[in-house]
Structure 1
Amino acid sequence: MISKHMTAALIGSALLATAAIAQTPNATMNNNMTAPAAATSSESGYHGSWRSSKMVGLNVYNDTNDKLGSISDLLLDKNGMIKAAVIGVGGFLGVGERLVAVPFDKLKFVDTPAQSASGKGAGTGTTTGSSTSAPATTTTSSNPWFPDHAVFSATKQQLESMPEFKYST
């Protein structure tokens, strides 16, 4: 009876050792692989970059400081470059909202807070982007991880008359 338990223990140990050896990379595998680049957790390497999580929900105004809607999504190409922003327009609290896609390079991003439509502000301040209508400048926001809002040169009616954007399934 003891020999049955000893045999079972030896077989179990051999199976465990075999599994552990199979998981250990061998020397030839290590020679063919390169070490991954060291990741940095410091913000200094990414200073001036914007967080995509903060871009979604960003308010969009026009040149006359009328609120057009907010960014609902960002569309990237296969290389990771942002090609378009999906903007939710119309509706009330998301009900009846319509989605339109606008070229990302047509948006200007502003650091300074927008003011009411009677004042000035949404079209002023430090902007950045690749819009052809205004030169791009460096962001000087107090929070370098996202701008205050975006500006798109269109009226609310023009934006609402654009083709509706629908996600294909």
Structure 2
Amino acid sequence: MRTLLLTATIATAAALATPVIVLAQGTPQTVQLVKVDVMKVSTGYRASKVIGSSVVNEAGDTVGKVDEIIVGPDGKAPFVVLSVGGFLGVGDKLVALPYEQMRTDGKKIVLPGATKDSLKSLPEFKYAS
């Protein structure tokens, strides 16, 4: 009985000590890690703080509200989904824009050149189910 337990323990330890290589369609996969400047990243804007924020134009007029931030299918380009028009969430329309079109000015999120009417004229965005 002790021999069986000892053999099982040694086999488990050997399995845990062996590096794991994941094969996808027969090709070994590796993960490339990239170092980031953590100080620079820490000064950015958290999505949880941006979502729900009002968006203004250069004149300070509120033109929409951030409904969501979506990372594009390529994993690189983020998009912002804005809720425009309506009153207290009734009758509003969702539109999507590249996040890079927006600017930050202190705690304000500015969408240069935007008006309520120009945003309402954009195609309606609908979340995929």
> How does the TM-score come out when normalised to structure 2?
0.68
How big is each residue's C-alpha offset from its partner over 1:69-110, in whole Å with a ceiling of 9 and x where there is no partner?
A: 21122233314232x321011233334332001233332221
Q: Could you tell me how far 1:37 is from its partner in structure 2?
A: 6.6
Deviation of 1:44 (Å): 2.7
Identity %: 28
Mapping of residues 5-84 of structure 1, within 5 Å: 7=1, 9-25=2-18, 44-46=39-41, 48-77=43-72, 78-82=74-78, 84=79
Which residue, 89, 92, 102 being the options, matches 2:84?
89
CA distance in 2, matches of 1:148, 1:58: 8
Residue 167 of structure 1 aligns to a residue in which SS?
coil
In proportion to residue count, which structure has more strand?
2
- Computed over aligned residues only, the root mean square deviation of the Cα atoms, in angstroms, reads 3.1
Amino acid aligned to 2:82:
I
Structure 2: 5+ residue stretches without partners: 22-29
Calculate the TM-score normalised by the size of structure 1: 0.55
Distance between the aligned counterparts of 1:19 and 1:87, measured in 2?
53
Task: Say if 2:104 and 2:110, in contact at 8 Å, map to a contact too.
Answer: yes
Equivalent residue for 2:103, pick from 98, 105, 108: 108
Partner of 1:99: helix, strand, or coil? strand
Give 1:20's aligned amino acid: A
Could you list the runs of 5+ residues in structure 1 that have no partner in the other structure? 1-6, 112-146
Contact residue 88 and residue 100 of structure 1 kept, 8 A: yes
Question: For 1:73, what is the secondary structure of its paired residue?
Answer: strand
Give the secondary-structure state (helix, strand or coil) at the position aligned to 1:44. helix
Distance verdict in 2 for CA 1:95–1:108, change over 3 Å: same
Contact 1:60-1:152 at 8 Å conserved across structures: no
Structure 2 contact 77–98 (Cα < 8 Å) conserved: no
Output the CA distance in 1 between the equivalents of 2:89 and 2:120: 15
| 3-state SS, counterpart of residue 165 of structure 1 | coil
